[in-house]
């Protein structure tokens, strides 16, 4: 209906109503006219009110604050279990048998390692079901599954999913590990599904996600004011209340003001300032300046900055609203946590609104900004890991005298001895020229191996730091310390992209290794395609290293291949120390299960004689190493 | 990181509550009935701008309007129109508080925009009221607002409304 027809209909309706009321009621003309006008106006108000009873305001909105979308170990299991929910099977299925076997293996292992049972005793207790107080868990691992409850029967399900949940909880309790909350299945999945992608959902009236051009759109802010205007006019006229009618006129005024065209958003220029080359994990302040380059006043400018996908905002908000005079500027700041790599900022979303908030135009404003984050050598004063590293990679003070730190012996000066090792006191006292020998520390070859497979790109929460990032940071820090302690250090990646950096101890080694860690494709945020097999990889490793070496493996140990890698390296004769950043969480069944299985792998490796440092997500590397060192001290 | 703080913007929420409080006070001066209804609306507004509910903020406008209508026989026309105006201003700032909170979060600095908008809304309302009142007085003569003047005013306003409604609801 066009405006003109609508107006014609309104006038015709008004005339008809007046005629009807006047004819039927025998009222005098002015009163009838007032009643008729009022009735029509009220009808109009009802129509407007009904037309817009449900308005979808600001349902979806971009969330550039959230960086990263790393997988959490155990999400695949949650998805698998979610498929089994609401189903009842008469017999068994391949999937269910596999899940049950996986849990039973884990249970047996935990009973053996934690409670000191023999394998046979563990199996017997699992069969008897007396390893736990929980009936559902006991029945599930016994193999006959919990009997479905009435509710499950009504939902067409059986007790399988409940059995899995109970078992994981029971096992977590049995080893004092964090247990998943009850009813935890699926919550994590829903949450994760909601975080896929960064611009969530479709743009709506208040929340435009990005390039919407600069056409004028209603914001919906004044929805309902038209109905209020008509209702006021209707009541005012029909009820003889001039004040209410005057209020209706005010409402009409707002309706008129709401439709004015907002200023052009492309007049807004956005500039960004970020610190140069921060180190990974560093807090970086981003300062965004917004400038009005037009001659118009901009009463409402809203900016949402395009934070790079991988970065999380840790302080402030990348959002700002301001009013700008011609040529005026305003600035805001927020802070992100830097992650290794070069991150390009995306265009900022800019919206302008008219003075009464009723209409807006949107555009995007690009400003080429990059955050270049690379590993840096720690300052000499910051090297705190040296002795800890030395201990766990096995550098041992030798009994031979030579250059070093600790005093060993003195001997007669030989031509060529460095002047700083001459015992000048003795020369002054006795006139004898002697040289001091220190206890020589035998240089060890240490190869840092980083597990860089897809499975290492996991974090305890989707926007958390991945195990790979932590491994790479740690490898960088350890390389510096090992080199400073006089070791030869090499670097290799266990993953589809080959990386073999020969062990060396020259002045440029640290820079070379840090550059590789920062830039090499093996450590990129997205894993290169391909598989890595422990056997083949260790064969190549042996051919490459050529001589004795100590291996320091950085791996989250979230699958058995990592354990196989350690076993094969050890069998090939290399002492292995594992530094394992813990990427597991416990807020869903699958995540808790992944955590329990990782614990089992750690204890297996330790039983087998490997040194393992379990590195929690919220603990500094130096602290984790210090704790591990205390554990190993006699 | 933790979830974003999408609660309503503080300044607009406060302005909204203060203006709504003034409206209730003005109604109270005329009669208790209208003031009581509006007071219920004020409570809705309080919850609305605390818990980010557009529905409750709108409930305030309905209550304020009902209060104005109930009070109309006992109050001078200008006061009633002023109550409707105040109700709209409080509603507008309340909705803005909710909208800013949801789209820009509480972390963002929004004070300047909130002030500009509140000023613009108050100005638009004041100007329209003045013009409308002047027009009615001119039509009716100095004697006050009689039925005929109000009718003419209403028909004119409804006509403008019909032209505008295609753009906005």
Contact A299 B160 (CB under 8 A): no
CB-count burial class (<10 Å; 0-12, 13-18, 19+) for A207: buried
| Nearest-angstrom CA–CA distance, A303 and A358 | 18
Contacts of A317 in chain B (CB under 8 A): 4, 104-105, 107-108
pLDDT in tens, A542-583: 999 878 888 999 999 999 999 999 999 999 999 899 999 999
Distance of CA A432 to the CA centre of its chain: 67
Tell me the helix, strand and coil percentages in chain A, rounded to 5: 45, 20, 35
pLDDT for position A237: 80
Contact B110 A332 (CB under 8 A): no
pLDDT in tens, B119-146: 999 999 999 999 888 887 777 665 555 5
Q: What would you report as the CA-atom Rg of chain B, rounded to the nearest whole angstrom?
A: 18
CB-count burial class (<10 Å; 0-12, 13-18, 19+) for A526: exposed
CA terminus-to-terminus distance, chain A? 89
| Nearest-angstrom CA–CA distance, A341 and A277 | 10
The answer, for B139 touching chain A at a CB cutoff of 8 Å, is: no
Chosen for mutation from B87, B113, B136, B137 (greatest number of chain A CBs closer than 10 Å) is B113
Q: What crossing angle do the helices spanning A467-484 and A621-632 adopt, rounded to 10°? A: 70
Per DSSP, the three-state class of A195 is: helix
Q: Are A184 and A78 in contact (CB under 8 A)?
A: no
Task: Residue A229: count other Cβ atoms within 10 Å of its Cβ.
Answer: 31
Q: Are A490 and A545 in contact (CB under 8 A)?
A: yes
The answer, for B25 touching chain A at a CB cutoff of 8 Å, is: no
| Nearest-angstrom CA–CA distance, B6 and B124 | 29
> Two tokens at A433?
């020229």
> Two tokens at A192?
């994760």
Q: Are A586 and A177 in contact (CB under 8 A)?
A: yes
pLDDT under 70: residue ranges of chain A: 1-33, 36, 47-62, 183-214, 379-407, 438-443, 633-634
| Nearest-angstrom CA–CA distance, A42 and A530 | 70
> Two tokens at A208?
């435009």
| Nearest-angstrom CA–CA distance, A212 and A214 | 6
Q: Which of A236, A313, A322 faces B1 most closely, judged by CB atoms?
A: A313
Cα–Cα nearest to A366, from A251, A288, A467, A476 = A288
Contacts of B147 in chain A (CB under 8 A): 30, 34, 240
pLDDT for position A593: 93
Range list of β-strands (E), A129-201: none
pLDDT for position A537: 93
Q: Are B11 and B114 in contact (CB under 8 A)?
A: yes
Contacts of B169 in chain A (CB under 8 A): 48, 51-52, 222-224, 226-227
| Nearest-angstrom CA–CA distance, A204 and B92 | 20
Element (H, E) at A13: helix A3-25
Contacts of A65 in chain B (CB under 8 A): 1, 4
| Nearest-angstrom CA–CA distance, A143 and A187 | 27
Q: Which of A57, A245, A300 faces B54 most closely, judged by CB atoms?
A: A57
Contact A225 B136 (CB under 8 A): no
- Please identify which residue in the block is written with the tokens 């066009």: A2
pLDDT for position B5: 82
How many Å lie between the alpha carbon of B148 and the closest alpha carbon of chain A? 8
Q: Are B168 and A255 in contact (CB under 8 A)?
A: yes
pLDDT for position A386: 52
Cite the DSSP H helix spans in A431-520: 467-484, 509-519
Task: Residue B118: count other Cβ atoms within 10 Å of its Cβ.
Answer: 19
pLDDT in tens, A538-552: 999 999 987 888 899
Per DSSP, the three-state class of A584 is: coil
| Nearest-angstrom CA–CA distance, A146 and A158 | 8
| Nearest-angstrom CA–CA distance, A262 and A269 | 17
Beta bridge pairs of residue A458: A71
- Please identify which residue in the block is written with the tokens 């004063």: A381
Residues whose CB falls within 8 Å of the CB of residue A161, separated by 6 or more in sequence, listed in order: A81, A84, A85, A185
Per DSSP, the three-state class of A168 is: helix
The answer, for B137 touching chain A at a CB cutoff of 8 Å, is: no
pLDDT in tens, B40-59: 999 999 999 999 988 899 99
pLDDT for position A19: 59
pLDDT for position A176: 84
Residues whose CB falls within 8 Å of the CB of residue A516, separated by 6 or more in sequence, listed in order: A491, A499, A501
Task: Residue A106: count other Cβ atoms within 10 Å of its Cβ.
Answer: 19
| Closest alpha carbon within chain B to A240 | B147
Contact A320 B109 (CB under 8 A): yes
| Nearest-angstrom CA–CA distance, A569 and A537 | 10
Q: What would you report as the CA-atom Rg of chain A, rounded to the nearest whole angstrom?
A: 36
pLDDT for position A311: 87
Element (H, E) at A504: strand A499-504
pLDDT for position A494: 94
Beta bridge pairs of residue A384: none
| Closest alpha carbon within chain A to B69 | A244
Beta bridge pairs of residue A496: none
The answer, for B88 touching chain A at a CB cutoff of 8 Å, is: yes
| Contacts with A, B 97-116, CB within 8 Å | 98-100, 102-105, 107-110, 112-116
pLDDT for position A526: 81
Contact B124 A254 (CB under 8 A): yes
Per DSSP, the three-state class of A490 is: strand
């Amino acid at each position: 209906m066009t405006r003109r027809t609508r107006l014609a209909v309104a006038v015709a309706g008004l005339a008809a109503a007046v005629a009807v009321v006047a004819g039927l009621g025998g009222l005098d003309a002015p009163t009838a006219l007032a009643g008729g006008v009022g009735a029509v106006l009220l009808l109009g108000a009802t129509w407007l009110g009904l037309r817009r009873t449900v308005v979808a305001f600001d349902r979806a909105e971009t969330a550039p604050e959230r960086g990263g979308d790393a997988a959490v170990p155990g999400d695949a299991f949650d998805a698998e279990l979610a498929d089994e929910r609401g189903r009842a099977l008469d017999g068994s299925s391949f999937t269910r048998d596999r899940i049950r076997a996986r849990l039973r293996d884990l249970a047996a292992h935990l009973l053996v390692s934690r409670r000191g049972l023999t394998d046979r005793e563990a199996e017997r207790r699992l069969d008897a079901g007396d390893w736990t107080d929980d009936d559902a868990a006991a029945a599930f691992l016994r193999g006959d599954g919990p009997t479905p409850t009435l509710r499950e029967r009504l939902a067409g399900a059986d007790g399988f999913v409940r059995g899995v949940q109970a078992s994981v909880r029971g096992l977590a309790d049995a080893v004092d590990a964090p247990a998943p909350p009850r009813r935890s299945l699926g919550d994590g999945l829903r949450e994760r599904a909601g975080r896929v992608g960064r611009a969530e959902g479709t743009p709506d009236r208040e929340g435009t996600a990005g390039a919407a051009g600069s056409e004028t759109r209603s914001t919906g802010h004044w929805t309902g004011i038209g109905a209020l205007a008509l209702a006021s006019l209707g009541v005012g006229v029909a009820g003889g209340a001039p004040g209410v009618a005057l209020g209706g006129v005010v409402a009409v005024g707002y309706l008129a003001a709401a439709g004015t065209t907002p200023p052009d958003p492309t007049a807004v220029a956005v500039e960004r300032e970020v610190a140069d080359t921060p180190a990974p994990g560093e807090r970086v302040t981003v300062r965004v300046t917004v400038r009005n380059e037009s001659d118009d006043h901009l009463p409402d400018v809203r900016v949402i900055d395009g934070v790079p996908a991988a970065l999380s905002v840790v302080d402030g908000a990348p959002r700002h609203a301001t009013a700008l005079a011609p040529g005026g500027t305003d600035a805001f700041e927020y802070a992100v946590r830097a992650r290794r790599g070069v991150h390009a900022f995306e265009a900022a979303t800019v919206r302008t609104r008219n003075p009464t908030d009723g209409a807006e135009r949107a555009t995007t404003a690009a400003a080429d900004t990059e955050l270049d984050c690379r590993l840096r050598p720690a300052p000499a004063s910051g090297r705190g890991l040296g002795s800890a590293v030395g201990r766990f990679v096995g550098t041992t003070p030798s009994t031979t005298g030579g250059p070093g730190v600790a005093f060993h012996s003195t001997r007669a000066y030989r031509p060529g001895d460095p002047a700083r090792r001459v015992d000048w006191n003795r020369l002054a006292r006795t006139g004898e020229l002697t040289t001091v020998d220190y206890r020589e520390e035998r240089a060890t070859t240490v190869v840092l191996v980083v597990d860089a497979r897809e499975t290492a790109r996991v974090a305890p929460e989707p926007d958390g730091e991945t195990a790979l990032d932590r491994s790479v940071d740690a490898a960088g820090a350890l390389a510096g310390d090992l080199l400073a302690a006089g070791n030869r250090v090499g670097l290799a990646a266990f993953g589809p992209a080959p990386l073999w950096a020969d062990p060396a101890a020259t002045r440029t080694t640290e820079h070379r290794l840090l550059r590789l860690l920062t830039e090499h494709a093996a450590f990129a945020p997205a894993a290169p395609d391909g598989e890595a097999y422990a056997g083949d990889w260790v064969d190549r490793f042996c051919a490459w290293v050529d001589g004795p070496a100590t291996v320091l493996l950085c791996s989250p140990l979230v699958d058995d291949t990592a354990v196989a890698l350690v076993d094969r390296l050890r069998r090939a004769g290399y002492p292995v120390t594992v530094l394992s950043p813990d990427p597991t969480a416990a807020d869903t069944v699958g995540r808790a299960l992944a955590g329990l299985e990782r614990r089992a792998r750690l204890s297996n490796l330790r039983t087998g004689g490997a040194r393992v440092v379990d590195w929690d997500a919220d603990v500094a590397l130096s602290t984790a190493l210090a704790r591990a060192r205390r554990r190993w001290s006699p | 990181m933790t979830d974003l703080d999408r609660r309503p913007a503080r300044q607009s929420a406060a302005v909204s509550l203060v203006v709504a409080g003034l409206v209730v006070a003005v109604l109270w001066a005329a009669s208790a009935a209208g003031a009581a209804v509006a007071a219920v609306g004020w409570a809705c507004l309080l919850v609305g701008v605390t818990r980010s509910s557009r529905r409750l903020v709108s409930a305030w406008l309905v209550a304020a309007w009902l209060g104005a209508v109930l009070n109309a026989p006992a109050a001078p026309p200008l006061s009633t129109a002023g109550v409707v105006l105040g109700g709209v201003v409080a509603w507008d700032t309340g909705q803005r508080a909710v909208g800013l909170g949801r789209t820009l979060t509480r972390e963002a600095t929004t004070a300047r925009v909130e002030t500009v908008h509140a000023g613009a809304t108050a100005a638009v309302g004041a100007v329209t009221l003045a013009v409308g009142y002047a027009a009615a007085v001119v039509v009716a003569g100095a004697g006050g607002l009689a039925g005929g003047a109000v009718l003419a005013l209403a028909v004119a306003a409804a006509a403008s409304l019909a032209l505008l409604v295609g753009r906005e609801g």
